[in-house]
Amino acid sequence: MAVALTSKRYRVDDVDAGEFCFQQGWTDGLPVVPPTEDRVTMMLAAGHLDPKQEIAYITNRSVSVTAEKVAINAVMAGCRPEYIPVVVAAVQGIGDPAFGYHGPGTSTGGAAVLMIVNGPITRELDINSGDNLFGPGWRANLSIGRALRLVMRNVCGSLPGLLDRGTLGHPGKLSYVIAENEAESPWTPLHVERGFRPDQSAVTVMAAESPHQFYNQLSPDAEGVLTTLADSMKHSGGAGRQPQYVVTLAGEHMRTIAGSGWGKKEVRQFLFENTQNTLAHLKRTHRIPGAIQPGDDTKLRPIVAEPDDILIVAAGGRAGSFSSFIPGWGGARSSLATTKEVKR
Protein backbone atom coordinates (compact mmCIF):
# COMPACT_ATOMS: atom_id res chain seq x y z
CA MET A 1 0.00 0.00 0.00
CA ALA A 2 1.35 3.38 -1.00
CA VAL A 3 2.06 5.88 1.76
CA ALA A 4 1.24 9.56 1.51
CA LEU A 5 4.30 11.75 1.87
CA THR A 6 3.78 15.36 2.88
CA SER A 7 7.22 16.92 2.38
CA LYS A 8 7.59 19.57 -0.30
CA ARG A 9 8.46 18.25 -3.77
CA TYR A 10 10.97 19.71 -6.21
CA ARG A 11 11.31 18.82 -9.88
CA VAL A 12 14.99 18.56 -10.70
CA ASP A 13 16.82 16.60 -13.38
CA ASP A 14 18.76 13.65 -11.93
CA VAL A 15 22.03 15.08 -13.15
CA ASP A 16 21.40 18.32 -11.22
CA ALA A 17 19.78 16.85 -8.09
CA GLY A 18 22.95 16.61 -6.02
CA GLU A 19 23.96 20.17 -6.75
CA PHE A 20 20.41 21.31 -6.00
CA CYS A 21 20.68 19.76 -2.52
CA PHE A 22 23.92 21.68 -1.94
CA GLN A 23 22.23 24.91 -2.97
CA GLN A 24 19.35 24.30 -0.55
CA GLY A 25 21.77 23.83 2.37
CA TRP A 26 20.68 20.24 3.00
CA THR A 27 24.10 18.62 2.89
CA ASP A 28 27.03 18.23 5.27
CA GLY A 29 29.50 19.22 2.57
CA LEU A 30 29.54 15.85 0.83
CA PRO A 31 27.35 14.69 -2.05
CA VAL A 32 24.00 13.18 -1.07
CA VAL A 33 21.63 10.67 -2.64
CA PRO A 34 18.59 12.55 -3.97
CA PRO A 35 15.62 11.66 -1.73
CA THR A 36 13.10 10.70 -4.38
CA GLU A 37 9.61 9.59 -3.39
CA ASP A 38 10.35 5.96 -4.32
CA ARG A 39 13.53 5.87 -2.23
CA VAL A 40 11.88 7.46 0.79
CA THR A 41 8.91 5.11 0.53
CA MET A 42 11.23 2.09 0.42
CA MET A 43 13.05 3.35 3.48
CA LEU A 44 9.80 3.75 5.42
CA ALA A 45 8.59 0.32 4.37
CA ALA A 46 11.81 -1.30 5.55
CA GLY A 47 11.23 0.16 9.02
CA HIS A 48 7.47 -0.53 9.03
CA LEU A 49 6.99 3.16 9.63
CA ASP A 50 4.05 5.46 9.02
CA PRO A 51 5.45 8.69 7.57
CA LYS A 52 3.50 10.78 10.11
CA GLN A 53 4.76 8.77 13.08
CA GLU A 54 6.65 10.91 15.60
CA ILE A 55 10.08 9.43 16.29
CA ALA A 56 11.24 12.10 18.74
CA TYR A 57 10.27 15.51 20.05
CA ILE A 58 13.09 17.99 20.61
CA THR A 59 11.70 20.10 23.43
CA ASN A 60 14.07 23.05 23.29
CA ARG A 61 13.52 23.41 19.56
CA SER A 62 9.79 22.61 19.63
CA VAL A 63 10.49 20.23 16.76
CA SER A 64 8.64 17.00 16.07
CA VAL A 65 10.89 14.59 14.16
CA THR A 66 8.66 12.39 12.03
CA ALA A 67 9.46 9.09 10.37
CA GLU A 68 9.20 10.75 6.96
CA LYS A 69 11.90 13.27 7.84
CA VAL A 70 14.14 10.56 9.25
CA ALA A 71 13.70 8.47 6.09
CA ILE A 72 14.48 11.44 3.82
CA ASN A 73 17.74 12.12 5.60
CA ALA A 74 18.65 8.43 5.75
CA VAL A 75 18.28 8.27 1.96
CA MET A 76 20.45 11.36 1.52
CA ALA A 77 23.12 9.87 3.82
CA GLY A 78 23.43 6.77 1.63
CA CYS A 79 21.77 4.32 4.03
CA ARG A 80 20.47 1.01 2.81
CA PRO A 81 16.79 0.52 3.76
CA GLU A 82 17.68 -2.13 6.35
CA TYR A 83 19.67 0.49 8.30
CA ILE A 84 16.62 2.58 9.14
CA PRO A 85 15.74 0.86 12.47
CA VAL A 86 19.18 1.80 13.83
CA VAL A 87 18.79 5.40 12.69
CA VAL A 88 15.34 5.57 14.29
CA ALA A 89 16.68 4.27 17.63
CA ALA A 90 19.47 6.86 17.54
CA VAL A 91 17.00 9.69 16.87
CA GLN A 92 14.92 8.47 19.80
CA GLY A 93 18.09 8.56 21.89
CA ILE A 94 18.89 12.20 21.18
CA GLY A 95 15.24 13.09 21.82
CA ASP A 96 15.35 11.60 25.31
CA PRO A 97 15.27 14.38 27.94
CA ALA A 98 18.28 12.76 29.66
CA PHE A 99 20.35 13.44 26.54
CA GLY A 100 19.43 17.13 26.79
CA TYR A 101 19.66 17.96 23.08
CA HIS A 102 19.89 21.73 23.42
CA GLY A 103 23.18 21.79 25.33
CA PRO A 104 25.42 19.58 23.19
CA GLY A 105 23.59 20.66 20.04
CA THR A 106 24.46 24.35 20.49
CA SER A 107 27.49 24.53 22.77
CA THR A 108 30.83 25.99 21.74
CA GLY A 109 32.23 22.72 23.15
CA GLY A 110 31.63 21.12 19.77
CA ALA A 111 30.43 17.65 20.82
CA ALA A 112 29.41 15.03 18.30
CA VAL A 113 26.94 12.21 18.92
CA LEU A 114 28.77 8.94 19.53
CA MET A 115 26.65 5.88 18.68
CA ILE A 116 27.51 2.45 20.11
CA VAL A 117 25.51 -0.38 18.56
CA ASN A 118 24.99 -3.74 20.28
CA GLY A 119 23.19 -6.98 19.62
CA PRO A 120 22.47 -9.19 16.59
CA ILE A 121 21.91 -6.16 14.30
CA THR A 122 25.64 -5.39 14.35
CA ARG A 123 26.45 -8.65 12.60
CA GLU A 124 23.47 -8.52 10.26
CA LEU A 125 24.41 -5.05 9.01
CA ASP A 126 28.21 -5.50 9.24
CA ILE A 127 28.67 -2.57 11.61
CA ASN A 128 32.38 -2.38 12.29
CA SER A 129 33.69 -3.22 15.77
CA GLY A 130 37.27 -4.06 14.84
CA ASP A 131 40.17 -2.70 12.81
CA ASN A 132 40.08 1.01 12.01
CA LEU A 133 37.27 1.33 14.54
CA PHE A 134 36.64 5.06 14.16
CA GLY A 135 37.81 5.24 10.55
CA PRO A 136 36.31 4.84 7.08
CA GLY A 137 35.54 1.72 5.11
CA TRP A 138 32.18 0.50 6.43
CA ARG A 139 29.03 1.74 4.77
CA ALA A 140 26.79 0.97 7.73
CA ASN A 141 28.91 2.90 10.24
CA LEU A 142 29.41 5.94 8.05
CA SER A 143 25.92 6.26 6.59
CA ILE A 144 24.01 5.57 9.83
CA GLY A 145 25.97 8.21 11.71
CA ARG A 146 25.68 10.60 8.81
CA ALA A 147 21.90 10.12 8.71
CA LEU A 148 21.60 11.10 12.36
CA ARG A 149 23.68 14.20 11.78
CA LEU A 150 21.61 15.19 8.74
CA VAL A 151 18.45 14.86 10.85
CA MET A 152 20.05 17.17 13.41
CA ARG A 153 20.93 19.62 10.64
CA ASN A 154 17.87 19.55 8.44
CA VAL A 155 15.09 18.83 10.94
CA CYS A 156 16.40 20.15 14.27
CA GLY A 157 18.20 23.16 12.80
CA SER A 158 21.71 22.38 14.09
CA LEU A 159 23.57 24.23 11.35
CA PRO A 160 27.22 25.17 11.93
CA GLY A 161 27.59 28.86 12.70
CA LEU A 162 23.91 29.26 13.51
CA LEU A 163 22.41 26.99 16.18
CA ASP A 164 25.52 24.79 16.23
CA ARG A 165 28.15 27.09 17.73
CA GLY A 166 31.04 24.65 18.11
CA THR A 167 34.36 26.49 18.37
CA LEU A 168 36.35 23.58 16.94
CA GLY A 169 34.01 20.63 16.49
CA HIS A 170 35.62 17.37 15.40
CA PRO A 171 35.31 14.85 12.54
CA GLY A 172 32.83 12.75 14.52
CA LYS A 173 30.24 15.37 13.65
CA LEU A 174 30.15 13.82 10.19
CA SER A 175 29.65 10.28 11.50
CA TYR A 176 30.58 8.66 14.81
CA VAL A 177 29.39 5.05 14.95
CA ILE A 178 30.97 1.90 16.36
CA ALA A 179 29.75 -1.54 17.41
CA GLU A 180 30.89 -3.50 20.43
CA ASN A 181 32.93 -6.63 19.61
CA GLU A 182 30.63 -9.00 21.46
CA ALA A 183 31.91 -12.06 19.59
CA GLU A 184 35.39 -11.82 21.11
CA SER A 185 34.66 -9.91 24.30
CA PRO A 186 34.93 -11.85 27.57
CA TRP A 187 32.61 -9.32 29.23
CA THR A 188 28.95 -8.41 29.47
CA PRO A 189 27.90 -6.28 26.48
CA LEU A 190 27.13 -2.63 27.10
CA HIS A 191 23.43 -2.88 26.25
CA VAL A 192 22.98 -5.79 28.68
CA GLU A 193 24.63 -3.73 31.42
CA ARG A 194 22.08 -1.03 30.60
CA GLY A 195 19.03 -3.28 30.96
CA PHE A 196 18.54 -5.11 27.66
CA ARG A 197 18.68 -8.82 26.84
CA PRO A 198 21.63 -10.22 24.86
CA ASP A 199 19.30 -11.14 21.98
CA GLN A 200 17.99 -7.58 21.69
CA SER A 201 19.69 -4.95 19.57
CA ALA A 202 20.22 -1.47 20.97
CA VAL A 203 21.91 1.85 20.30
CA THR A 204 23.59 3.95 22.97
CA VAL A 205 24.07 7.63 22.11
CA MET A 206 26.32 10.03 24.00
CA ALA A 207 27.35 13.62 23.34
CA ALA A 208 31.09 13.17 23.09
CA GLU A 209 34.47 14.61 22.30
CA SER A 210 36.79 12.85 19.88
CA PRO A 211 38.61 9.63 20.82
CA HIS A 212 41.81 10.09 22.86
CA GLN A 213 44.17 7.24 22.00
CA PHE A 214 46.66 5.79 24.52
CA TYR A 215 49.44 3.25 24.12
CA ASN A 216 50.82 0.56 26.44
CA GLN A 217 52.89 -2.32 25.08
CA LEU A 218 54.91 -2.89 28.25
CA SER A 219 52.45 -4.15 30.85
CA PRO A 220 51.55 -7.84 31.15
CA ASP A 221 48.60 -7.30 33.45
CA ALA A 222 45.42 -5.27 33.90
CA GLU A 223 46.79 -2.89 36.50
CA GLY A 224 49.69 -1.84 34.27
CA VAL A 225 47.54 -1.15 31.22
CA LEU A 226 44.91 0.70 33.21
CA THR A 227 47.49 2.77 35.08
CA THR A 228 48.56 4.23 31.73
CA LEU A 229 44.95 4.82 30.77
CA ALA A 230 44.08 6.44 34.09
CA ASP A 231 47.05 8.80 33.86
CA SER A 232 45.92 9.91 30.40
CA MET A 233 42.30 10.34 31.49
CA LYS A 234 42.98 12.31 34.66
CA HIS A 235 44.97 14.92 32.75
CA SER A 236 42.60 15.19 29.79
CA GLY A 237 41.16 18.57 28.83
CA GLY A 238 38.05 18.42 30.99
CA ALA A 239 39.67 16.89 34.09
CA GLY A 240 36.39 16.47 35.95
CA ARG A 241 33.99 18.55 33.88
CA GLN A 242 32.41 15.71 31.86
CA PRO A 243 29.48 13.70 33.22
CA GLN A 244 30.55 10.41 31.58
CA TYR A 245 33.38 8.74 29.69
CA VAL A 246 33.47 5.88 27.21
CA VAL A 247 36.53 3.63 27.28
CA THR A 248 37.10 1.42 24.23
CA LEU A 249 39.47 -1.47 24.92
CA ALA A 250 40.88 -3.05 21.77
CA GLY A 251 42.03 -6.64 21.28
CA GLU A 252 45.45 -6.75 22.96
CA HIS A 253 44.45 -4.69 25.96
CA MET A 254 41.15 -6.54 26.27
CA ARG A 255 42.94 -9.89 26.41
CA THR A 256 45.56 -8.63 28.87
CA ILE A 257 42.94 -7.19 31.23
CA ALA A 258 40.67 -10.23 31.01
CA GLY A 259 43.71 -12.47 31.53
CA SER A 260 44.16 -10.84 34.93
CA GLY A 261 40.64 -11.89 35.84
CA TRP A 262 39.24 -8.37 35.64
CA GLY A 263 35.75 -7.64 34.35
CA LYS A 264 34.14 -4.34 33.42
CA LYS A 265 33.18 -3.69 37.05
CA GLU A 266 36.80 -3.93 38.18
CA VAL A 267 37.97 -1.77 35.29
CA ARG A 268 35.47 0.95 36.15
CA GLN A 269 36.37 0.90 39.82
CA PHE A 270 40.13 1.09 39.15
CA LEU A 271 39.71 3.98 36.73
CA PHE A 272 37.39 5.84 39.09
CA GLU A 273 39.88 5.58 41.94
CA ASN A 274 42.95 6.39 39.87
CA THR A 275 41.75 9.33 37.79
CA GLN A 276 41.16 11.70 40.70
CA ASN A 277 42.99 15.01 40.80
CA THR A 278 43.78 17.17 43.81
CA LEU A 279 41.97 20.48 44.04
CA ALA A 280 45.38 22.13 44.13
CA HIS A 281 46.32 20.63 40.78
CA LEU A 282 43.03 21.67 39.19
CA LYS A 283 43.42 25.22 40.47
CA ARG A 284 47.11 25.38 39.57
CA THR A 285 46.31 24.38 36.00
CA HIS A 286 43.32 26.76 35.84
CA ARG A 287 40.75 24.03 35.34
CA ILE A 288 38.68 25.28 38.26
CA PRO A 289 38.60 28.81 39.73
CA GLY A 290 39.92 30.01 43.04
CA ALA A 291 43.12 30.35 45.01
CA ILE A 292 44.78 27.26 46.44
CA GLN A 293 43.68 26.80 50.05
CA PRO A 294 45.25 24.80 52.90
CA GLY A 295 44.38 21.14 52.38
CA ASP A 296 43.80 21.42 48.62
CA ASP A 297 46.89 19.27 48.00
CA THR A 298 45.14 16.29 49.60
CA LYS A 299 41.49 16.91 48.67
CA LEU A 300 40.60 14.78 45.65
CA ARG A 301 38.06 15.38 42.92
CA PRO A 302 36.96 12.45 40.68
CA ILE A 303 36.51 12.93 36.94
CA VAL A 304 32.98 11.48 37.12
CA ALA A 305 30.43 11.19 39.91
CA GLU A 306 30.56 7.41 40.24
CA PRO A 307 32.24 4.37 38.61
CA ASP A 308 29.17 3.53 36.52
CA ASP A 309 29.64 6.82 34.66
CA ILE A 310 32.56 5.14 32.87
CA LEU A 311 31.12 3.05 30.02
CA ILE A 312 33.43 0.18 29.02
CA VAL A 313 33.23 -1.10 25.43
CA ALA A 314 35.25 -3.94 23.93
CA ALA A 315 36.07 -2.71 20.41
CA GLY A 316 38.99 -2.14 18.07
CA GLY A 317 41.53 -4.21 16.18
CA ARG A 318 42.98 -7.49 17.43
CA ALA A 319 46.58 -6.30 17.01
CA GLY A 320 48.27 -3.20 18.38
CA SER A 321 48.63 -2.00 21.97
CA PHE A 322 46.25 0.92 21.55
CA SER A 323 42.90 1.73 23.12
CA SER A 324 41.02 4.96 23.73
CA PHE A 325 38.90 7.02 26.06
CA ILE A 326 36.19 9.43 24.98
CA PRO A 327 35.10 12.25 27.29
CA GLY A 328 31.44 13.12 27.28
CA TRP A 329 30.08 16.65 26.94
CA GLY A 330 28.97 19.07 29.63
CA GLY A 331 29.03 19.31 33.38
CA ALA A 332 26.58 18.68 36.22
CA ARG A 333 25.14 15.69 34.32
CA SER A 334 23.49 18.03 31.82
CA SER A 335 23.73 15.42 29.06
CA LEU A 336 23.80 11.68 29.70
CA ALA A 337 24.13 8.63 27.48
CA THR A 338 20.80 7.04 26.56
CA THR A 339 20.16 3.55 25.19
CA LYS A 340 17.25 2.64 22.93
CA GLU A 341 16.13 -0.68 21.49
CA VAL A 342 16.43 -1.22 17.75
CA LYS A 343 12.94 -2.39 16.79
CA ARG A 344 12.28 -4.25 13.56
pLDDT per residue as tens digits for the range 39-62:
999 999 999 999 999 999 999 889
Mean pLDDT score, 308-336: 94
Residue 247, beta-bridge partner list: 312, 325
CA 5 to chain centre: 30
- Name the nearest CA neighbour of 267 among 185, 176, 183, 208: 185
- Name the nearest CA neighbour of 236 among 168, 282, 289: 282
Q: What is the pLDDT of residues 140-197, one digit of tens each?
A: 999 999 999 999 999 999 999 999 999 999 999 999 999 999 999 999 999 999 999 9
Q: How far, CA to CA in Å, does 213 sit from each of 32, 49, 156, 229, 321?
A: 31, 39, 32, 9, 10
Contact 302, 272 (CB under 8 A): yes
Please check the confidence at residue 284 and state whether its pLDDT lies above 60.
yes
Q: How far, CA to CA in Å, does 27 sit from each of 33, 35, 228, 316?
A: 10, 12, 40, 30
Q: Could you give the CA distance from residue 88 to residue 34 in angstroms, rounded to a whole number?
A: 20
Quick one: pLDDT at residue 11?
Answer: 87
Contact 121, 229 (CB under 8 A): no
Contact 254, 185 (CB under 8 A): yes
Q: Could you give the CA distance from residue 97 to residue 93 in angstroms, rounded to a whole number?
A: 9
Mean pLDDT score, 286-291: 92
- Name the nearest CA neighbour of 229 among 242, 213, 245: 213
Quick one: pLDDT at residue 10?
Answer: 87
Mean pLDDT score, 301-316: 96
Contact 99, 336 (CB under 8 A): yes
How buried is residue 242: exposed, middle or buried, by Cβ count under 10 Å (0-12/13-18/19+)?
buried
Q: Could you give the CA distance from residue 118 to residue 32 in angstroms, rounded to a whole number?
A: 27
User: Integer distance in angstroms from the first to the last C-alpha of the chain?
Assistant: 19
DSSP state of 25: T
Mean pLDDT score, 81-100: 97
Q: What is the pLDDT of residues 117-136, one digit of tens each?
A: 999 999 999 999 999 999 99
> Which residues in 183-280 belong to E strands, given as ranges?
202-208, 212-215, 245-249, 277-278
Average per-residue pLDDT for the chain: 94
Q: Could you give the CA distance from residue 207 to residue 101 in angstroms, rounded to a whole number?
A: 9
Cα angle, residue 148 at apex, residues 147 and 152 outer, rounded to 5°:
115
Q: What is the pLDDT of residues 191-217, one digit of tens each?
A: 999 999 999 999 999 999 999 999 999
Please check the confidence at residue 16 and state whether its pLDDT lies above 90.
no
H-type alpha helices, 47-138: 67-77, 84-95, 102-106, 121-124
CA 327 to chain centre: 11
